[in-house]
Structure 1
Amino acid sequence: YTCPDCGKSCRAYSTFLRHRKTHTDARPYRCVECGDTFRHKSTLTVHHRVHSGEKPYGCSECPKSFKMKWELVRHGRTHS
């Protein structure tokens, strides 16, 4: 699937549809806590952690935990 706006190629149709949203101003997913809006439901899900304090990614070497997986990966380098 090739994007007619920028030429980006996607193997999966679902990835193509997600990419297409980057070319519009549509932000249909709204946070009920603060009113922020998002293009993707998954981004809203991650955003909810700001309000809930949820930190699902825990370090196996110390008691720290993180909201985002990339934060855990970055933190893991401190133990090397």
Structure 2
Amino acid sequence: MKLAVFDELFKGMSKKVEELEKYFIEDIDWQNSYFYTDSIINIKLLELVGNLVAVNPDTHILNHAQKQNCQIV
């Protein structure tokens, strides 16, 4: 993936996280939340939740999940 494309995807995900926080910050228990992903594009959400599940992960997510002792399926 070209860096420019990744940057745009990352900005889009950052905006999604900002919107979630804006509307649900008091109602979301991030530490006890689960997030299922296969792509590093979701890194902002990965950093928020307490329970990451990597599903058929790309190389970047696999490395992250292994370092964090996350579930990999």
Query: Is the pair's TM-score, using the shorter chain for normalization, greater than 0.5?
Result: no
Q: Which has the higher contact order (CA 8 A, sep 6+)?
A: 2
More helix by share: 2
TM superposition score normalised by structure 1:
0.27
